[in-house]
Structure formats: structure tokens, C-alpha cells
Amino acid sequence: MPPSTATRQSPRFEIIGAGMAGVLAAIKLQEAGLDDFAIYEKADDLKTRGSS
Ligand SMILES: Cc1cc2nc3c(=O)[nH]c(=O)nc-3n(C[C@H](O)[C@H](O)[C@H](O)COP(=O)(O)OP(=O)(O)OC[C@H]3O[C@@H](n4cnc5c(N)ncnc54)[C@H](O)[C@@H]3O)c2cc1C
């Protein structure tokens, strides 16, 4: 039986914030072949530069 979403393991990498640093971290992980990551962003819409 395939695992349900309730039993899915956490991603290997968790990136907090989808600002410049977070997006670049994700890009570098992908470039290194490490796709098991998630980005968590608290804002519910796009904001201007340096929002935090
Ligand atoms: C007014 C202003 C103008 C600027 N103009 C320029 C410019 O012209 N050129 C330039 O190169 N740089 C500029 N900068 C600087 C540039 O915006 C910052 O250096 C850059 O955005 C920093 O990126 P960051 O990812 O560290 O932070 P941010 O871009 O602030 O991103 C952080 C993200 O994390 C999220 N976050 C915070 N806490 C949590 C949490 N607990 N859980 C989930 N998500 C969270 C925030 O919502 C945000 O989206 C400017 C900055 C300001 C304030």
C-alpha cells in the first residue's frame, strides 16, 4: 500500500522564508541534485524587497 500523506516523512531540507536567501538556497540544492526540500513562507502574498 502506498504511504498516506499522514505518514509521509518530512523533507530532508526545510527552508524558512521565500525571500532571496530562501530561493537561492533552493536553487543551490537543486543544482547539487538535492530535490528533497520544502520552502515555508509566512506571507500569504508577494511583497516588496526585504519584507522581513
Ligand atoms: C526598502 C528596501 C529596499 C531594498 N532595495 C534593494 C535593492 O534595490 N537592491 C538590492 O540588491 N537589495 C535591496 N534591498 C535588500 C534586499 O531586499 C535584501 O538584502 C534581501 O531581500 C534579503 O533577503 P532575505 O532572503 O535575507 O530576506 P527577505 O527578502 O526579507 O525574505 C525573508 C522571507 O522570510 C519570510 N519569513 C520570515 N519569517 C518567517 C517565518 N517565521 N516563517 C516563514 N517565513 C518567514 C518573510 O515573509 C520573507 O518572505 C532592499 C531592502 C529594503 C528593506
pLDDT tens for 1-52 read: 555 556 668 999 999 999 999 999 999 999 999 999 999 999 988 776 665 6
**Residue 2: per-residue pLDDT:** 58
Amino acid making up residue 5: T
**Residue 38: per-residue pLDDT:** 97
Q: Which three cell numbers stand for residue 43?
A: 506571507
Centre of ligand 1 to C-alpha 31, Å, is: 23
**Residue 45: per-residue pLDDT:** 83
Q: Which three cell numbers stand for residue 27?
A: 536553487
**Residue 16: per-residue pLDDT:** 97
Centre of ligand 1 to C-alpha 34, Å, is: 24
Neighbours of 29 (CB within 10 A): 16
DSSP category for residue 42: -
Beta bridge partners of 39: 15
Answering whether pTM is above 0.85, one says no
Centre of ligand 1 to C-alpha 18, Å, is: 9
Residue nearest to atom 8 of ligand 1 (CA): 49
**Residue 11: per-residue pLDDT:** 96
Pick the atom of ligand 1 nearest to 43's CA.
47
